[in-house]
Amino acid sequence: MTEISKAAIIGAGVIGAGWAARMALAGIDVTVFDPHPSTERVVGEVMANATRAFARLTTAPLPPVGRIGFAATIEEAVKDTDVIQESVPERLELKRGVLNQIDRFARPDALIGSSTSGLLPSDLQIEMTHPDRLIVAHPFNPVYLLPIVEIVGGKLTSAATIDRAKAVYAGIGMKGVPIAREIEAFVGDRLLESMWREALWLIKDDICDVETLDDIMRYGFGLRWAQMGMFQTYRIAGGEAGMRHFIAQFGPCLKWPWTKYTDVPEMDDELVDKIASQSDAQAGGLGIRDLERIRDDNLVAILQALKGGDEGRGWGAGKLLGEFEAGLWARAKASDAPLDVTRPLLLHQVRVNPAWIDYNGHMTEFRYLQVMADATDALLRVIGIDAETAAAGSSYYTVETHIRHLAEAKLGAALTVETQVLLGEGKRLHLFHTVLGADGTRHATGEHMLIHVGAGKPCDPAPPVAQRLAAIAAGHAALPKPAAAGRAVGQPK
């Protein structure tokens, strides 16, 4: 994984704005250049949707969101940046001219990626002074959620640049897939184009409408492809005999006149009107931002489901998400920075997302426990208990919990957890959490007793952990004991 701190986005349409959001949410400062007057609005709207999606995608501690700024020129945008992503319209001369400017003004060691969906990198880099650092980095929309990026080098691209690109994109949670040889439209779009051609004929010939075609994809093979792709799916279809049996069984049908891949219907007004009107009806009046949020919600759910599959090991894009989260957790290790122990600790902040809402429109009750558990995890990381120590057999485990629900938290509400250590000595850790709204409203309190376990048995923690915890407990001993501490269920207020 390669750390980068500054990036530039040149061209801020759908793809460029998605790149900006993906990088900013990974903690990278981003400078955007696009002369269109709506650039700041579009980037802001895409960033809002991306932030909403990421709040549901992972509970791992994301780094502070990078700043997004806007430059008046390409020179200003790319100055002193680590990575530049070009996403201007798909015209060779335009892209070549923009990339030449980027090459002229960027640091010689800056990585330059083009988001082109089909132009050859050799044609793009031909006039550059430093052509060895140019790659095609072709993502798919939405860039901030879909992790794939095709990496294609040109004739003058160095092997070191390909390796570096893979590491850079891995650092922002993406799967960089090098393509062995450059070819127009690369791999992903060539596959999509073949399906698009057949789909156009099916609509033109009135075999089905656009909604029926989409239903067949989303309720059928699309779900299989989300986790295994095409070849592994077909291997399973071959049964115990595997891929050889599948090919023997279904290979002959490739000679049947099923498809019209090499023939394309004329995109006349009649066909355009048919597709557009059916698509309008399918949308049911939903606007583009509404559809984007629905798409994001579905993608988050699929990614989270795939992350937990295969006995917890994850599968496909879900496994990649789990690996990205592991990196985020690894960064959140114990800090040597001094804590203000003269007041309760503020270690966890979160925003109520749509998956947490019940039928009453409020945060469902088990999510309060999740928020407090995340605050407990944050405290454990501060004192030196993290995934590595847990894997080694040393961690704290909750043995008793008492939660009071005091006020309703609604969709989008910003919550902060105050954490007070009531006891931190020996193997016992006694915590009191208060969940606060942005206006200071107390939404809930939680009292928790945890026991340290090592090698499968209750025991005292290691001296460094015990010392960090003791320092916090000593400071908090001077604080007033919360009035609700020690309450029993049903006790009068």
Q: Do 157 and 265 fall within a single domain?
A: no
Position 178, amino acid: P
- Kindly state the DSSP code that residue 218 receives in the 8-state scheme: I
Q: Could you tell me if residue 461 is inside a domain?
A: yes
Number of H helices, E strands in the chain: 16, 14
According to DSSP, the β-strands at 83-86 and 6-10 are: parallel
Rounded CA gap, 132 and 157, in Å?
A: 4
**pLDDT (tens digit, 9 = 90+) per residue, 432-462?**
999 999 999 999 999 999 999 998 899 999 9
Of the candidates 9, 36, 34, 39, the residue with the CA atom closest to the CA atom of residue 24: 9
Pair (457, 361) in one structural domain: yes
- Cis before 142? omega within 30: yes
Q: How far apart are the C-alpha atoms of 419 and 431, rounded to whole Å?
A: 7
Say whether both 149 and 194 belong to one domain.
Answer: no
In a domain, 486, yes or no: no
CA separation for the pair 353, 54 (Å, rounded): 10
Same domain assignment for residues 180 and 195: no
Q: Residues 371, 246: one domain?
A: no
Residue 254 corresponds to which tokens in the numbers above?
């490739």
Q: Are 424 and 407 in contact (CB under 8 A)?
A: no
Query: Which residue, of 142, 161, 186, is where some domain finishes?
Result: 186
Among 285, 312, 345, residue at a domain's last position = 285
Q: How many residues does the chain have?
A: 493
Do the strands 442-454 and 428-437 form a parallel or antiparallel pair, or are they unpaired?
antiparallel
Q: Which residues contact 55 (CB under 8 A, 6 or more apart)?
A: 350, 351, 353
Residue 85 sits in a domain whose CATH number is 3.40.50.720
Q: Where on the phi/psi map is residue 303: left (φ > 0), alpha (ψ -120 to 50), or beta?
A: alpha
Any idea what the CATH number is for the domain that residue 391 is in?
3.10.129.10
Q: Which secondary structure element, helix H or strand E, spans residue 442, and what is its range?
A: strand 442-454
Residues 223 and 168 in one domain: no
Banded model confidence at residue 309, pLDDT cuts 50, 70, 90: low
Nearest residue to 431 (alpha-carbon basis) of 382, 388, 489, 362: 382
Number of structural domains in the chain? 3
When pLDDT is cut at 50, 70 and 90, the band that residue 352 belongs to is: confident
Q: What is the pLDDT of residue 337?
A: 62
In which domain, by residue range, is 398 found? 334-476
- Is the domain of 164 the same as that of 45? yes
Instruction: Specify if 395 maps to a domain.
Output: yes
The pLDDT of residue 60 is 79
Q: Is the pLDDT of residue 125 over 80?
A: yes
Q: Is 7 helix (H, G, I), strand (E, B) or coil?
A: strand
Residue 1: the pLDDT is: 46
Q: Give yes or no: residues 354 and 408 share one domain.
A: yes
* Kind plus residue range of the DSSP H or E element containing 215: helix 210-216
- Residues whose CB falls within 8 Å of the CB of residue 212, separated by 6 or more in sequence, listed in order: none
Q: CA 435, CA 365: separation in Å to the nearest integer? A: 13
Q: Is residue 259 part of a domain?
A: yes
Residue whose C-alpha is closest to residue 102's, from 137, 66, 77: 77
Domain identity same for 162 and 250: no
The whole-angstrom separation of Cα 139 and Cα 226 is: 16
- The 10s digit of each residue's pLDDT in 235-288 is 888 888 888 888 888 888 878 877 777 788 898 999 989 998 999 999 899 888
pLDDT, residue 335, reads 55
Inside any domain, residue 484:
no
Same domain, yes or no, for 77 and 123? yes
Q: In this predicted structure, what is the pLDDT of residue 174?
A: 96
C-alpha distances (whole Å) from 64 to each of 27, 67, 142, 330 are 5, 9, 21, 15
Show which of 186, 212, 237 is a domain's final residue.
Answer: 186
- Inter-axis angle of helices 316-331 and 288-307, nearest 10: 80
Of 396, 390, 455, the residue nearest 430 (C-alpha): 396
Cβ atoms within 10 Å, residue 474: 13
Question: Do 166 and 215 belong to one domain?
Answer: no
Please indicate, yes or no, if residue 426 is contained in any of the structural domains.
yes
**Domain harbouring 205, CATH code:** 1.10.1040.10
289 has a pLDDT exceeding 50: yes
Are 376 and 254 in the same domain? no
The answer as to whether 294 is a domain residue is: no
Q: Is residue 293, in this structure, part of any structural domain at all? A: no
